[in-house]
A = this chain, B = another copy of it.
Amino acid sequence: MTDDIRTKKLINAPEDIIPEAIEGMLLAHPDMLKVEGATKRAIVAKDGPRDGKVGVVVGGGSGHEPAFAGYVGRGLADAAAVGNVFASPSPEHIMDAARAVDGGAGIMFLYGNYTGDVLNFDMAAEECQGMGIPACSFGVTDDVASAPKGREGERRGIAGDFFVFKIAGAAAEAGRDLDGVIAATKKANDNTRSMGVALSACSLPQTGKPNFDIGHDEIEIGMGLHGEPGMRRGKLATADEVTTELMAGILGDMELGSGDEVAVLVNGLGATGPLELYLLHRRAAKILAEKGVKIHYSWVGEYCTSLEMAGASITLLKLDDDLKTLLDMPCKTPALTVAG
């Protein structure tokens, strides 16, 4: 009996969920988005790609909405390659996106650093290079919980994607060449650190089962974006205590001192809403204030999710003048509008 209990979701056939969601998304944002290519997995900005501009292609598995297609639009990503739930898009999906945004100035591929994404985007980048299109494949590595200091390159990409994508998109929009976009992206990634916590599991539409077990009074500190286990399983604690632990993980890994400036992202994983997220932001802001670190801007909401998981992550982007300028540049996408 209990084996029959599946997580309730508002879906049709599980195997159709991605093409149908893409269709619904295009119908919702016809002013901003279109789909290009035979695979129908490349969502392209109507008002983005143009001759002489570096094409910015983001992507990854589905289930992280609004990432990744929600960040497609003028001033941010030119296209997103949309994979199946929790699975990287294929090289063909990615190439559909790349072809649509190629403006002769090269392609910047951006995604979270997971084996599948690295393999598929790297293959697409090689294919571009084979066609004479300069291309860079770049995996975001913001999750401090996923590998120790000194092994930063092995880290996963989680909500820090948001900042790295924004910076890369703005650099391309500003007319920088591929090397310039790569330099800005790399700096943004080097300056971004995140850590998350999960309170409940999510379940994949295909299986309908929680994809890990967690006790009714437990939390997983350092949980990944796909329900991968984190650093430790602990007892549920207060918002202040949890935030203090997440901030300790982040601050222990980056140099931040009095007079420095950061952007803050408090991100909900799916079932944790603004009421709770603002409690986390409150504590994070106090910790930063105590260190004399200034907050340039904060985003609090759902920017990179794990289906319906309960939990949150905190991300800091350490700013310099250039990063600040790029972060503040206008953009218009379904998930983020920065007004000019």
Give me the interface of A with B, judged by CB distance under 8 Å.
5-6, 8-13, 17, 20-25, 27-29, 31, 62-63, 65-66, 70, 85, 197, 199-200, 216-217, 219, 236, 238-240, 242, 264, 266, 270-283, 285-286, 295, 297-302, 305, 307-308, 310-312, 330, 332, 334-335, 337-340
Which single residue of chain B is at the shortest CB-CB distance from A70? Answer: B274
Residue of B10, B85, B273 near A307 (CB, 8 A) is B273
Contact B10 A199 (CB under 8 A): yes
Contact in complex: A298, B65 (CB < 8 Å): no
How far does the alpha carbon of A283 sit from the alpha carbon of B339 in the complex, in Å? 31
- Chain B neighbourhood of A330, CB < 8 A: 339
| A298 adjacent to B10 (CB under 8 Å) | no
Q: Is the CB of B238 within 8 A of A12?
A: yes
Cα A339 to Cα B286 with chains together (Å): 31
* Residues on the B chain within 8 Å of A200, using CB: 8
**What are 16 A-B residue pairs whose CB atoms fall within 8 Å in the complex?**
A5-B216, A5-B217, A8-B217, A8-B219, A8-B310, A10-B242, A10-B280, A10-B312, A24-B278, A25-B274, A27-B295, A65-B274, A70-B274, A332-B339, A339-B339, A340-B340
Contact present for A29 and B298 (CB under 8 Å): yes
What chain B residues lie within 8 Å of A308 (beta carbons)? 271-273, 310
**CA of A176 to CA of B272 in the docked complex: distance in angstroms?**
39
Partner of A282, one of B27, B270, B275, B298: B27
By beta carbon, the residue of chain B nearest A240 is B12
If over half of A's interface residues share one DSSP class (helix, strand or loop), that class is named, otherwise mixed; here it is mixed
Number of copies: 2
Known interface pairs A281-B28, A298-B28. Does A62 touch B8 (Cβ–Cβ under 8 Å)? no
Query: How many angstroms from the CA of A301 to the CA of B24 in the assembled complex?
Result: 12
CB distance A276 to B10 under 8 Å?
yes
Alpha-carbon distance between A66 and B5 when the two chains are bound, in angstroms:
32
Report the Cα distance A308→B28, complex, angstroms.
24
Neighbour of A275 across the interface among B63, B199, B310, CB < 8 A: B63
Contact: A282 with B21, CB < 8 Å? yes
Q: Are B20 and A279 in contact (CB under 8 A)?
A: yes
A28 to B266, alpha carbons, bound, how many Å? 10
Contact indicator A279/B239 (Cβ below 8 Å)? no
Please name all residues of chain B whose beta carbon is closer than 8 Å to the beta carbon of A282 when the two chains form the complex: 20-21, 23-24, 27
> In the complex the two chains form, what is the Cα distance from A145 to B24 in whole Å?
25
B-side contacts of A270, CB under 8 Å: 271, 273
Q: Which B residues are CB-close (under 8 A) to A24?
A: 277-283, 285, 300
**Minimal beta-carbon separation of A88 from chain B (angstroms):** 17
Query: How far does the Cβ of A206 sit from chain B's closest Cβ, in whole Å?
Result: 13
Assembly CA distance A266 to B65 (angstroms): 15
Kindly provide the distance from the CB of A87 to the nearest chain B CB, expressed in whole angstroms: 14
Residues in B neighbouring A23, C-beta threshold 8 A: 278, 282
Contact A9–B278 (Cβ < 8 Å)? no
In the bound complex, how far is the Cα of B214 from the Cα of A5, in angstroms? 13
Distance (Å) between the CB of A284 and the closest chain B CB? 9
The listed residue (B5, B28, B217, B285) touching A278 by CB distance below 8 A is B28
Which of B9, B31, B295, B300 is the one whose CB lies under 8 Å from A276?
B9
